[in-house]
Structure 1
Amino acid sequence: MLINKTVSGFVEELASNSPAPGGGSAAALAGSLGAALSIMVCNFTEGKPKFSSVQDEISEIKQKGLALKNDLMDYIDGDTDSFVEVMKAYKLPKETDAEKTLRSEKIQEATIQATLLPLKVAESCVEVLKLSLRVLTIGNPNTACDAAVSGVTAYAGFQGAIFNVKINLSSINDETFLKSIKGKIVSLQEDADKLNQLILVKAKEVVG
């Protein structure tokens, strides 16, 4: 499993001539790093008398961050697994009409799943962005830089995930599915861009 590799091992795997892992797994990793940094800020804020007024919210943010971190870590391998399933579908036999029909159906099924997973990554990254902005606003100012990096890292993960969603759309025939996904992309992009800008403005105020 990719998640069990060392940092250097994972980076070398990305740099290899293997098509997977690729950008989708890297996007999920970026999102998980963003979540982890928000959790870090919570840990440096939690239990501190100076921040007594925000303890309940910080505790809630920490729990949300832990769940998001774990989900995004699962998506690192999930993205690679979904790509492998697409490749398997393309390798199915296509000699007879029945085989061609089955192959086409399996390709569509696998491609849809390979689209839904990075969409989940993108959705999770938007949630991480919300946490990043909040901990940058109310968290221990000594960790403001970490909160800012949480935000920009999550935004990078979001953008990477959206690229991985879009690349699959031209291979999908289901118009209803396509319309739904395209609508979600627009909505998520608007949310992510707004949160990213707010984080950058806040970071400039707090970090400099």
Structure 2
Amino acid sequence: MKPFRNYSLSEYTRVLSLKVPAPGGGSAAAVTAALGAALLSMVANYSFGKTGSRVKERKIKDCLRTSEQLRRRFLALVDLDAKAYLNFVKTRGAAPAKRNAARRKAAEVPMEVCKLCYKAVQLSPKLVLYGNKNLICDVRVALELLVAAFNAARVNVEINR
């Protein structure tokens, strides 16, 4: 089976809708975060080379580098979340200590999603200040996606702790 991050959007949402343990909410949170990071990258890509200032260009390039690193990591977390949850599911009927350890391990991925969403959100002020002013709406949509992903991942952390 190929990694979920390599599915088309149509394939991923179809599999997400099935009666299977994974992908689920944690994986969907990571996809949502990846979309937010991708929008930040888009704004940086449109803005780069257009500011007329080396300082601004450097800040935009830094935003682009970071948003791309985050986007790739969020996509990796789509699959890591599914794997962690499937490992937890395998502990059904196991000793409570083993099951609890697997549940706590499953909470690590959404916790990382939360931390990385926070990091991604911190890119937005620079893009609003130095980026293409016609794309402020896209920065705002990215923020909404990242906040939604953070909240979805937080729910998974709270339940799986």
Normalised to the residue count of structure 2, the TM-score between the two structures is 0.92
Please point out which of 98, 111, 116 is paired with 2:108. 116
3-state SS, counterpart of residue 23 of structure 2 = coil
- CA deviation string 1:139-195 (max 9, x = no partner): 1012111111111111110000000000112xxxxxxxxxxxxxxxxxxxxxxxxxx
Please give the alpha-carbon distance, in whole angstroms, between the structure 1 residues aligned to 2:126 and 2:57: 13
Q: Which residue of the partner structure matches residue 82 of structure 2?
A: 80
Q: Which runs of 4+ in 1 moved over 6 A?
A: none
Please point out which of 18, 32, 35 is paired with 2:34. 32
Question: What does 1:22-171 align with in structure 2 at a 5 Å threshold?
Answer: 22-50=24-52, 52-92=54-94, 103-169=95-161
Greater helix proportion? 1
Q: Which runs of 5+ in 1 are unaligned?
A: 93-102, 170-208
Deviation at 1:43?
A: 0.6
Alpha-carbon spacing, 1:31–1:51, altered in 2? closer, same or farther (3 Å): farther
Letter of the aligned partner of 1:133 in structure 2?
Answer: P
Tell me, yes or no, if the aligned pair for 1:45 and 1:51 is still in contact at 8 Å: no
Deviation at 1:105?
A: 2.9
3-state SS, counterpart of residue 89 of structure 1 = coil
- CA deviation string 1:51-84 (max 9, x = no partner): 5541111111111111111111100011110110
Please point out which of 11, 14, 31 is paired with 2:16. 14
Please give the alpha-carbon distance, in whole angstroms, between the structure 2 residues aligned to 1:90 and 1:138: 52
Normalised to the residue count of structure 1, the TM-score between the two structures is 0.72
Please give the alpha-carbon distance, in whole angstroms, between the structure 2 residues aligned to 1:50 and 1:86: 52
User: Identity rate of aligned residues, in percent?
Assistant: 31
Q: How many residues align?
A: 159
